[in-house]
A and B are shown apart, each in its own frame.
Chain A
Amino acid sequence: MDIHQNVDILLVEDNPYEAQLTIRSFKKSNLANGLLHIDDGAEAMDFIFNRNKYAARNSENIPKLILLDLKLPKVGGLEILKAIKEDQRTKVIPVIVLTSSKEGPDIKTSYELGVNSYIVKPVNFESFSKAVVELGMYWMFLNVPPYN
């Protein structure tokens, strides 16, 4: 990709098919233009914090929304969430955590780390895509970010 490209939505998801389905839902709602998909936790960190191959990126250009899967290779979703919410420059970015299960301690941990929304992906993809698009809309358009 062109590293100077404007990114509205950052999708961090390692499963290519899940990503494909999510992107399709955004496309159907015309939200996919500024969407960037990264399938690796470490690379997502590089992008968010302008490091390594993203070092030359304009640091003013931060995503309006991050969709974050919790199960990721190398650097896990909760770790990324923690880094985002601890950094003054990035903590204002709304983060939606996506996960397959409502079991386990992830939900509580995510909220403690300051997640903005949390979606348990249902098996029924229609429900999921509806939830994702609605939340995307909310954070992209309805919610007034503090830096505007």
Chain B
Amino acid sequence: MGDVPKKNTVNLSHPDDLETIKTKRTLSLQNPGMPVAFQGRFLHSSGHYTWLEGTLTNLLHVKGVNAMVTNFRDITQRKEVEEKLIKSEKIYRTIASSIPGSAICLFDADYRYLLIEGDMVEKLGYSKDKLLGNKAEDVLLPEVFAGIQNEFKKVLEGETITRESMSAGYDIISRFIPLKDENNIVYAIMTVAIDVTKLKNAQRDIAELNRGLEEKINQRTEQLRMINKELESFSYSVSHDLRAPLRIIDGFARILMEDHLQKLDEDGQHSLNVIMGSAQKMGQLIDDLLHFSKLGRSEMRMVKVNMDDLVEEVLRELKNGGISIPAGLKHNKLKKADGDNNLLKQVWVNLISNAIKYSGARKDPLIEIGMMEKNDKHIYYVKDNGAGFDMQYADKLFGVFQRLHKEGEFAGTGVGLALVQRIIARHGGSVWAEAKINEGATFYFTLPEHNSI
């Protein structure tokens, strides 16, 4: 009980409650001895209004008392909660009715429906009128109540719970939220249910699509694997089956050469040489092509490659293979690169032997192997002062079996640069060339860095 308001009850009434209180007093005066209940705001001694609830009893006729007796208690706090609920109810109602596909309910601590709002209420098969004011356990199907009872209990202890469920053909996400007063006491439970059927359907569609996609990828991978396998066996039988008749052509031409040469005139002997030379050439083409397809398919082993060592190794091997390295060959310092050692070796072999081949006709062949740095990129190059080529045909340079020089001028099958390009492309780098006829050519390539190495 707070401080008793001084003066009399009527004088201290809140102006808004004054009429009610006056009526109560009149009622009390007219009914001596009968307690009349009242509720209203009264001025506190400290200047603010408090809510009081009590009874007024006319005891004017009782000897020794001769007064109007008032019993009351302060209900300010309760009134405030009620006001809060009324205020928030409005908010909930507004929210729920303005969100399509939602349902908001408020329950008191006894699970009694205080508020039900939202278009989902009816869609889920409930009627607002039947629920409102009733306890959940009395109006819900026992199995439905059993399904939420646990959640309610936890929410009363202050927990917030989210759950997904399926109801009446709708995908629903429900949230159970405790409403707490200033002292952190849960005075009500709010449930918010949102229809997420469309979202769920989209999710299901995406999952379905993903499954389909995965299946398709697996199918394609399998197809690719089959094609690769076919290609492999094709390569194998090409090398096997095409080489056999070539060997026979060469062998029988050789029989003519060895045993019957005197019967052939000069023209016949020339024809024989062409036959044998062409058989050799075709053998070389088949070998190169196989090499090309094999390099394109082989597994890559990425390491830090010491390009200087690699170039020295290549020069040594070329020399051992009977190719004379010109005195004018300069090997500048190179930085390390990320790549497959064997494949990069093949790149250097092809570029360096090309440079030697195409500058071979000059008296003073110069070859420079080096590196430039541009925008953090390492650009390796092989430069020669040889035959060069017309830049007009530069796009044909890297095609398989493409040659920019006549057969008689320089030997070769036209696979070397195609191989270089394929290897660099597999590394994710690029290769290009600059040249001028009779002044030489420079071949450049870059390799991207791999952080994992």
Residues on A facing B (Cβ under 8 Å): 15, 17-18, 21, 24, 71, 99-101, 103-104, 121-126, 128-129
Is the pair A103, B247 in contact by a Cβ cutoff of 8 Å?
no
Q: Please list the 8 inter-chain residue pairs (A to B) with the smallest Cβ-Cβ separation, ordered nearest first.
A: A123-B283, A125-B251, A21-B251, A101-B239, A17-B248, A100-B240, A101-B240, A100-B243
- Let me know if B24 is at the binding interface, CB within 8 A: no
Find A123's partner among B236, B241, B243 (CB 8 Å cutoff): B243
Given contacts A15-B248, A100-B241, contact A125 B283 (CB under 8 A): no
Find B250's partner among A100, A103, A104, A124 (CB 8 Å cutoff): A124
Find B243's partner among A17, A121, A126 (CB 8 Å cutoff): A121
Within 8 A of A (CB), among B387-439: none
Taking CB as reference atom, which chain B residue is nearest A25?
B251
Bound-state Cα–Cα, A122 to B244, Å: 9
Q: How far is the CB of A46 from chain B (nearest CB, A)?
A: 25
Q: How far is the CB of B346 from chain A (nearest CB, A)?
A: 17
Find B240's partner among A24, A99, A126 (CB 8 Å cutoff): A99
Bound-state Cα–Cα, A21 to B259, Å: 13
Given contacts A124-B280, A128-B247, contact A71 B240 (CB under 8 A): yes
Other than the given A103-B239, A124-B280, 6 more pairs (CB < 8 A) read A17-B251, A101-B236, A101-B243, A103-B290, A121-B243, A121-B247
Q: How far is the CB of B414 from chain A (nearest CB, A)?
A: 18
Q: How far is the CB of A82 from chain B (nearest CB, A)?
A: 20
Taking CB as reference atom, which chain A residue is nearest B294?
A103
Given contacts A123-B279, A124-B280, A124-B283, contact A103 B251 (CB under 8 A): no
Is the pair A103, B236 in contact by a Cβ cutoff of 8 Å?
yes
Is the pair A21, B282 in contact by a Cβ cutoff of 8 Å?
no
Which residues of B have CB within 8 Å of A103? Answer: 235-236, 239-240, 290, 294
Instruction: Give 6 CB contacts A-B under 8 Å.
Output: A15-B244, A17-B251, A100-B247, A103-B236, A103-B294, A122-B247
- Let me know if B93 is at the binding interface, CB within 8 A: no
Binary interface encoding of chain B residues 341-384 relative to chain A, with 1 for a CB under 8 A from any of its CBs, else 0: 00000000000000000000000000000000000000000000
Binary interface encoding of chain B residues 222-247 relative to chain A, with 1 for a CB under 8 A from any of its CBs, else 0: 00000000000001100111011011
Bound-state Cα–Cα, A104 to B233, Å: 8
Which residues of A have CB within 8 Å of B254? Answer: 125-126
Bound-state Cα–Cα, A126 to B239, Å: 19
Taking CB as reference atom, which chain A residue is nearest B253?
A125
Bound-state Cα–Cα, A24 to B254, Å: 11
Taking CB as reference atom, which chain B residue is nearest A71?
B240
Is the pair B243, A21 in contact by a Cβ cutoff of 8 Å?
no
Within 8 A of A (CB), among B239-298: 239-241, 243-244, 246-248, 250-252, 254-255, 279-280, 282-283, 286, 290, 294
Is the pair A123, B240 in contact by a Cβ cutoff of 8 Å?
no
Which residues of B have CB within 8 Å of A123? Answer: 243, 246-247, 250, 279-280, 282-283, 286
Taking CB as reference atom, which chain A residue is nearest B283?
A123
Find A18's partner among B239, B240, B247 (CB 8 Å cutoff): B247
**Which of B243, B244, B282 has the most A CB atoms < 10 Å from its CB?**
B244
Which residues of A have CB within 8 Å of B252? Answer: 17, 21
Which residues of A have CB within 8 Å of B250? Answer: 123-125
Q: How far is the CB of A142 from chain B (nearest CB, A)?
A: 26
Which residues of A have CB within 8 Å of B290? Answer: 103
Taking CB as reference atom, which chain B residue is nearest A69?
B244
Is the pair A104, B236 in contact by a Cβ cutoff of 8 Å?
yes
Which residues of B have CB within 8 Å of A126? Answer: 254
Bound-state Cα–Cα, A121 to B248, Å: 11
Which residues of A have CB within 8 Å of B251? Answer: 17-18, 21, 125, 128-129
Is the pair A24, B255 in contact by a Cβ cutoff of 8 Å?
yes
Taking CB as reference atom, which chain A residue is nearest B259?
A24
Which residues of A have CB within 8 Å of B294? Answer: 103
Which residues of B have CB within 8 Å of A122? Answer: 247, 283
Which residues of B have CB within 8 Å of A15? Answer: 244, 248
Is the pair A18, B283 in contact by a Cβ cutoff of 8 Å?
no
Bound-state Cα–Cα, A102 to B250, Å: 19
